[in-house]
């Protein structure tokens, strides 16, 4: 099943956990935030797994090892093994291994997840630009990563050593709010060197390839909270996606989404995996979803109805995206969102 470019959300008569064989789940902002399970995540995943859906956890966060992530999920009540976890560290390690000789030294700017992934590919992690590395790899290193690590990366990159990044997410959800992500750290080295890294993580093809290779998914559904990584990654891979509104994306950002950032399905949280999804149909000059209708006027969106708010949001998106065409609409969605409480 592939997502049509720019079509917006669509319906599914079957519950999603029956329509797809594998859920490729983002972690931060979808399953947990700040280390704690997001509401409804644990029972929803338990039911999806019991119904036969394979659950794979796909994260751009390269800090922790797959084993550590699996242990954390198990502690939260979501049984998982290391083989159920795919990280951007694994994707970038494969990318490096394809370009440097086996046994090469790689300067690591990040956490243990990167080191384990490199060793899995027969590469040797080192800590200094003076260790004659064949590559530099940069991944999220946590809040305590010393500033001097960025200088070490810069020394090597300016000497001409190939530079790789696990991902370029500018932010990362935490229990206290939104914090700087690996993309912010990559910017530091980019400013210091004027160079550009090769990037492996979502939404780019190396991460999608790593995920499919490790899961063997035939009918995958990407589940995420970020338009610019999860949803764009699904778009680039030609697979369907479910956006949950438990992380960084809100209704306003969704309404303004460009074609490559438009999910197949939208739901409040992971309970959306267990349900069918309402159809969005044309009605006159607008669109109907559930008890809501939405139309796009010359300078604003019009919304009417008495159904569920998410049905209204889906109808609004269909109207706005059809009117915008290329996603550059000047329509005023704020008033419509206010009527939805979003």
Burial class (CB in 10 A: 0-12, 13-18, 19+), 177: exposed
pLDDT digits (tens, 9 = 90+) for 223-258: 999 999 999 999 999 999 999 999 989 998 999 899
Q: Percent of the chain at pLDDT above 70?
A: 92
pLDDT digits (tens, 9 = 90+) for 78-102: 999 999 999 999 999 999 999 999 9
Instruction: Find how far residue 292's CA is from the centre of its chain.
Output: 29
| 341 close to 309: Cβ distance less than 8 angstroms | yes
- Position 328 scores a pLDDT of 54
What average pLDDT does range 31-48 have in this prediction?
95
Question: Would you place residue 1 in the very low, low, confident or very high pLDDT band (cuts 50, 70, 90)?
Answer: very low
- In whole angstroms, what is the distance from residue 220 CA to residue 205 CA? 15
* Segment holding 73, helix H or strand E: helix 66-75
- Position 4 scores a pLDDT of 40
What average pLDDT does range 289-299 have in this prediction?
88
The reported pTM is 0.88
| 56 close to 86: Cβ distance less than 8 angstroms | yes
What average pLDDT does range 147-160 have in this prediction?
98
- In whole angstroms, what is the distance from residue 197 CA to residue 200 CA? 10
Catalytic center residues: 26, 28
pLDDT digits (tens, 9 = 90+) for 317-331: 999 888 877 555 556
Question: Would you place residue 211 in the very low, low, confident or very high pLDDT band (cuts 50, 70, 90)?
Answer: very high
- In whole angstroms, what is the distance from residue 120 CA to residue 306 CA? 55
| 163 close to 205: Cβ distance less than 8 angstroms | no
The token duo for 247 is 């992380």
């Amino acid at each position: 099943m592939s997502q049509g470019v720019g079509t917006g959300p669509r319906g599914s008569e079957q519950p999603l956990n029956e329509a797809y064989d594998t859920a490729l789940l983002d972690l931060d902002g979808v399953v947990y935030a700040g280390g704690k399970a997001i509401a409804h995540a644990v029972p929803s995943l338990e039911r999806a797994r019991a119904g036969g859906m394979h659950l794979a956890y796909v994260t751009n966060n390269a800090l922790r090892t797959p084993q550590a992530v699996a242990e954390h999920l198990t502690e939260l009540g979501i049984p998982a093994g290391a083989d159920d976890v795919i990280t951007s560290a694994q994707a970038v390690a494969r990318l490096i291994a394809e370009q440097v000789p086996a046994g090469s030294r790689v300067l690591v700017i990040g956490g243990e997840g990167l080191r384990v992934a490199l060793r899995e590919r027969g590469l040797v992690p080192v800590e200094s630009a003076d260790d004659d590395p064949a590559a530099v790899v940069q991944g999220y290193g946590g809040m305590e990563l010393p500033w001097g690590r960025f200088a070490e990366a810069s020394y090597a990159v300016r000497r001409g050593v190939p530079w790789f990044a696990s991902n370029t997410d500018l932010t990362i959800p935490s229990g206290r709010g939104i914090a700087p992500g690996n993309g912010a750290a990559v910017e530091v080295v980019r400013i210091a060197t004027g160079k550009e890294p090769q990037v492996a993580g979502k939404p780019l093809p190396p991460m999608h390839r790593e995920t499919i290779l490790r899961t063997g998914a035939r009918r995958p559904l990407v589940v995420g909270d970020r338009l610019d990584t999860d949803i764009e990654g699904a778009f680039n891979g030609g697979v369907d996606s479910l956006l949950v509104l438990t992380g960084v994306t809100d209704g306003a950002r969704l309404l303004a989404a460009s074609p490559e950032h438009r999910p197949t399905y939208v739901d409040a949280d992971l309970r959306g995996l267990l349900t069918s999804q309402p159809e969005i149909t044309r009605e006159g000059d607008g669109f109907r979803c559930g008890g809501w209708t939405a139309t796009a006027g010359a300078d604003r969106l019009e919304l009417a109805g008495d159904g569920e708010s998410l049905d209204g949001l889906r109808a609004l998106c269909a109207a706005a995206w059809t009117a915008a065409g290329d996603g550059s609409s000047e329509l005023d969605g704020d008033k419509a969102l206010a009527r939805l409480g979003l």
